[in-house]
Amino acid sequence: MISDRKLHHLNLCMEKDVEYRDKRTGFGDVELIHKALPGIDKEEISLETEFLGKKLEAPIIITGITGGHPASQAINQALAKAAEKLKIGMGMGSQRAAVENPELKPTYTIIRDEAPSTLIIGNIGAPQVEYAEKSAAMMDMDAMAIHLNPLQEVIQPEGDVNSKNYLENIKKAIETLEIPVIIKETGAGIKREDAVALEKAGAAAIDIAGAGGTSWAAVETYRSKDRSLGDLFWDWGIPTAVSTVEVLEQVNIPILASGGIRTGLDMAKAIALGADTAGIALPLLKEAFEGPEAVVARLEKFIEELKVVMYLLGASNLKELKNVDLIIQGKTRDWLQERGVETSKFARRSL
Ligand SMILES: Cc1cc2nc3c(=O)[nH]c(=O)nc-3n(C[C@H](O)[C@H](O)[C@H](O)COP(=O)(O)O)c2cc1C
């Protein structure tokens, strides 16, 4: 049953090592250039932004984690309370379970109950995109996320491995839905050419959800009898920093950078590379089990770290952060240059 699978995923993510093993996000290759004369007052730094039509007090989105199992309700409640308090965005896990079994709806609708004003994003997988309308109608939401997870589908025994009509079906869903649609990966990244196709299909934003954080091949490895397939593809995907830069080279819609964002410094790097917001999932899971105060404390740490970085760069708002000088080195530079990105332009923005 889907509901049981959801619980199994949650437990595995809590208890096992489900992150990429050798592949990194690439943020380690990004050096933000220190400014000895910041020239600003840290107390006046503003993190305000707008994303998918809602004003946020920080450029942070809790990306889709759960729903669909009775145990998800308390987790969603904790996350939603924290999102509302800090005025950041929140996504939910796939709504498929509640479309198929309406008794499970409260495990999702608790989110809007607890977060009446902030940005809330629904969620459905590309293989179940025919459920998008029913999912959007489940509660008052600001946007719908359609997730792409071919890596997970191909590793899991019961996965959907015919993606021939995904793009066409996504386009139809975008045309039908009355709310903006964000297309998200789930941790293996999005290449530029796919992003261009999704922008053309009418996506309002893209969550690149790159490699370096939670690995869905890893999660499915623990669930499978023969672990060799998941083990082989554990580190598959486009690193988050790489995906962010290459997608931004060609698309003009807002970008949410996520996948392996583990500190406010990672967030700052993602935004300095051009992303509009940064997303986190796994780092909040333990705190979500503990309750809303723990989630708020963890998020406040991210926010403080982000402000410290901005202070050291002399950036008093996110627009200024997007224009700081930075160096892209190592594997990330190699990858981007092979894909035709001229990386030195980031190092000379203020010249
Ligand atoms: C327990 C768990 C459940 C998730 N379920 C979903 C889901 O239902 N739909 C979805 O789009 N993404 C889902 N994700 C993926 C996250 O939204 C995110 O893209 C991915 O975990 C990478 O971010 P991270 O490295 O910060 O965890 C889930 C992640 C976790 C950890």
How many CB atoms are located within 10 Å of the residue 173 CB?
23
Is-contact 321 46, C-beta < 8 A?
no
Mean local confidence (pLDDT), 271-296 = 98
Amino acid 231: pLDDT = 96
Q: Is 13 in the pocket of ligand 1 (CB under 6 A)?
A: yes
Nearest atom, ligand 1, residue 147 CA: 11
Q: Is 318 in the pocket of ligand 1 (CB under 6 A)?
A: no
Q: Is 65 in the pocket of ligand 1 (CB under 6 A)?
A: yes
Q: Is 152 in the pocket of ligand 1 (CB under 6 A)?
A: no
**Bridge partners, residue 147, by sequence:** 125, 184
Nearest atom, ligand 1, residue 213 CA: 25
**Bridge partners, residue 115, by sequence:** none
Half-sphere exposure at residue 132, Cβ-oriented, CA atoms within 13 angstroms: 25
Amino acid 5: pLDDT = 84
- The per-residue pLDDT for range 308-327, each reduced to its tens digit, is 999 999 999 999 999 999 99
Nearest atom, ligand 1, residue 187 CA: 22
Compute the distance from residue 249 Cα to the ligand 1 centre, in Å: 25
Compute the distance from residue 13 Cα to the ligand 1 centre, in Å: 10
- The per-residue pLDDT for range 13-56, each reduced to its tens digit, is 999 999 999 999 999 999 999 999 999 999 999 999 999 999 99
Q: Is 123 in the pocket of ligand 1 (CB under 6 A)?
A: yes
Amino acid 336: pLDDT = 98
pLDDT band at 114 (very low <50, low <70, confident <90, very high): very high
Mean local confidence (pLDDT), 288-303 = 98
Compute the distance from residue 260 Cα to the ligand 1 centre, in Å: 11
- The per-residue pLDDT for range 337-350, each reduced to its tens digit, is 999 999 999 999 99
Amino acid 253: pLDDT = 98
Write down the H helix ranges in 183-317: 192-200, 216-223, 228-232, 240-250, 264-272, 285-290, 292-313
> What percent of the chain has a predicted confidence (pLDDT) above 90?
95
Whether the pLDDT of residue 157 is over 90: the answer is no
Compute the distance from residue 307 Cα to the ligand 1 centre, in Å: 26
Amino acid 126: pLDDT = 97
Compute the distance from residue 297 Cα to the ligand 1 centre, in Å: 21
- The per-residue pLDDT for range 235-263, each reduced to its tens digit, is 999 999 999 999 999 999 999 999 999 99
Compute the distance from residue 102 Cα to the ligand 1 centre, in Å: 22
Amino acid 210: pLDDT = 98
Compute the distance from residue 315 Cα to the ligand 1 centre, in Å: 30
Whether the pLDDT of residue 351 is over 90: the answer is no
What are the counts of helices (DSSP H) followed by strands (DSSP E) for the chain?
A: 16, 12
Compute the distance from residue 333 Cα to the ligand 1 centre, in Å: 27
Cα(255)–Cα(83) distance, integer angstroms = 19
Q: What is the mean pLDDT of the chain?
A: 97
Amino acid 155: pLDDT = 94
Judge: domain 2-348, CATH 3.40.50.20.
no
Amino acid 158: pLDDT = 83
Whether the pLDDT of residue 1 is over 80: the answer is no
Q: Whose CA is nearest to atom 4 of ligand 1?
A: 65
Amino acid 65: pLDDT = 97
Q: Is 281 in the pocket of ligand 1 (CB under 6 A)?
A: yes
Nearest atom, ligand 1, residue 12 CA: 1
Mean local confidence (pLDDT), 52-63 = 98
Compute the distance from residue 64 Cα to the ligand 1 centre, in Å: 5
Residue 286 corresponds to which amino acid?
K
Q: Whose CA is nearest to atom 8 of ligand 1?
A: 93
Nearest atom, ligand 1, residue 279 CA: 26
Mean local confidence (pLDDT), 206-220 = 97
Amino acid 73: pLDDT = 96
> What percent of the chain has a predicted confidence (pLDDT) above 70?
100
DSSP track, 109-148: HHHHHH-SSS-EEEEEEGGGGGGHHHHHTTS--SEEEEE-
Compute the distance from residue 281 Cα to the ligand 1 centre, in Å: 6
Whether the pLDDT of residue 4 is over 90: the answer is no
Q: Is 230 in the pocket of ligand 1 (CB under 6 A)?
A: no
- The per-residue pLDDT for range 178-207, each reduced to its tens digit, is 999 999 999 999 999 999 999 999 999 999
Q: Is 69 in the pocket of ligand 1 (CB under 6 A)?
A: no
